[in-house]
Amino acid sequence: MSETLHILPSTNDFEALAQIRILARHSPTKHTCVCLQDPTANHAQLQQWMGANVRIQTPTSRSLWMQASQLYRIGKTLRVSHPSNLCWNPGRFSNSALPLLTQLKSWNSIITTPSKRELTYPCFAGNYALKNSRHLYVSSEYLKVEHFPNSEVLSPLVEDAFAEQHCIDLKKEYGLPESATVVVGVGRFDSFSRFKETIWIMGILEHLHQDIHLVLFGTGEQAEILKSYRDQMVLRPRIHFLEPWCEPTSVIHQADCLLVTADHSGQDWGSQQAVHLNIPVVASRSDGNLECITHKENGFIGGPAGGGLAKYIHQLITESNLFPVRDSAQNQSHKQCWDTWNRLLTSPA
């Protein structure tokens, strides 16, 4: 099978990287990921996490001009050997991507969970990538209908719980009692994910439940801001940060609840993965969440205020029969999703 080139906005684009990792794990295709920026110096950890089937390349300079020069040189080595090219979330591309993109003959683009700013004001390189894409794939019907009518809906790629010898045990890692309730938030640490609101929600719940803890699982430039915000509150022993360089499906599988406060469009990978694993999702009222989650069947839609989300987490803890136990065997839609992704990989851009 031919090799695949993935172009991503940065090494912090966890949602896209998680899906590429799943692809690489379950297919013989070789993958090269070019991350346009590495603002939090994740390159070494990311390479180890992605595995031997994936090669990570990223510019080393923080200067956009030097990044452009380095990406041009990377493009010179890649443009012949990768007939299948995928641009992930081009609305987040910096203009330093142009020297790389102009060397490629064609590509497909995948849009996962764009912010409203990305949809309205993509930069020049983002517009260039979108307008010259051979095919465009989006994660939700809303994005197709409202923003990209010529696109195809491609649901986020998920997998079964992965039994790995070195999976992290959250309760042992943080010294929590077995009776503790673990709420998990997954994603990029940026303003649109609104992780600050998850900490505020824990401030409500800690008055009602003695052993409730929040694990924020991800990476991003706002990590230090979020840690500083946590450290200024009495909630510090209840808020834990976990870098994503472990097995994400195992982390989600250990959660009593996945909390999604993000303010973006499209279907969230973490939400889809939790639904696949039969973990309840408490999510804000956004178009992607409304497509992924059926209220009181595979999760709960609350908000827009944080108190509305806290209410459902409280009910999940106090009412044992609130969340229905579904058959763990996954339905035909999961196979159809895999078939679509395999078709995407095998057809050249």
Residues 278-330 pLDDT 10s: 999 999 888 888 888 888 888 899 877 778 899 999 999 888 777 766 554 45
Please give the residue that has the higher pLDDT: either 162 or 68.
68
* Of the listed ranges 111-115, 116-120, 332-336, the one predicted with least confidence: 332-336
Q: Does domain 4-157+336-346 have CATH number 3.40.50.2000?
A: yes
For the chain, the first-to-last Cα distance in angstroms comes to: 14
Q: What is the DSSP string of 81-128?
A: T-SEEEEE-GGG--GGGHHHHTT-S--EEEE-S--HHHHH---HHHHH
- In terms of C-beta density within 10 A (0-12 exposed, 13-18 middle, 19 or more buried), how is residue 341 classed? buried
pLDDT exceeds cutoff 70 at 140: yes
Please give the residue that has the higher pLDDT: either 317 or 333.
317
Query: In this predicted structure, what is the pLDDT of residue 240?
Result: 95
- Model confidence at 132, pLDDT cuts 50, 70, 90, reads very high
CA-to-CA distance for 122 and 90, rounded, in angstroms?
8
* Of the listed ranges 78-82, 145-149, 154-158, 290-294, the one predicted with least confidence: 78-82
At 205, list the tokens: 């719940």
Query: In this predicted structure, what is the pLDDT of residue 96?
Result: 94
| Cβ pair 106, 77 in contact under 8 A | no
For residue 145, the surrounding DSSP H or E stretch is helix 141-146
CA-to-CA distance for 222 and 212, rounded, in angstroms?
24
| Cβ pair 300, 259 in contact under 8 A | no
* C-alpha pair distances (Å), 32 with each of 51, 84, 87: 11, 11, 12
Q: Where in the chain is the domain with CATH 3.40.50.2000?
A: 4-157+336-346, 170-318
* C-alpha pair distances (Å), 38 with each of 8, 83, 123, 210: 11, 25, 19, 39
Query: Which region, left, alpha or beta, applies to residue 197 given φ > 0 means left and ψ of -120 to 50 means alpha?
Result: alpha
Q: Which distant-in-sequence residues (6+ apart) come within 8 Å of 232 by Cβ?
A: none
CA-to-CA distance for 187 and 193, rounded, in angstroms?
7
pLDDT exceeds cutoff 50 at 237: yes
For 172-222, the pLDDT digits (tens) are 999 999 999 999 999 999 888 889 899 999 988 988 888 999 999 999 999
Share of the chain above pLDDT 70, in %: 91
CATH class, domain 170-318, is alpha beta
For 49-87, the pLDDT digits (tens) are 999 999 999 999 988 899 999 999 999 987 656 568 999
Query: In this predicted structure, what is the pLDDT of residue 327?
Result: 54
Query: In this predicted structure, what is the pLDDT of residue 329?
Result: 44
Mean pLDDT, the chain, as a whole number?
87
At 202, list the tokens: 């824990």
Query: Which region, left, alpha or beta, applies to residue 194 given φ > 0 means left and ψ of -120 to 50 means alpha?
Result: left
Query: Which region, left, alpha or beta, applies to residue 238 given φ > 0 means left and ψ of -120 to 50 means alpha?
Result: alpha
- The SS3 of residue 52 is coil
- In terms of C-beta density within 10 A (0-12 exposed, 13-18 middle, 19 or more buried), how is residue 231 classed? exposed
- In terms of C-beta density within 10 A (0-12 exposed, 13-18 middle, 19 or more buried), how is residue 210 classed? exposed
Query: In this predicted structure, what is the pLDDT of residue 8?
Result: 97
pLDDT exceeds cutoff 70 at 101: yes
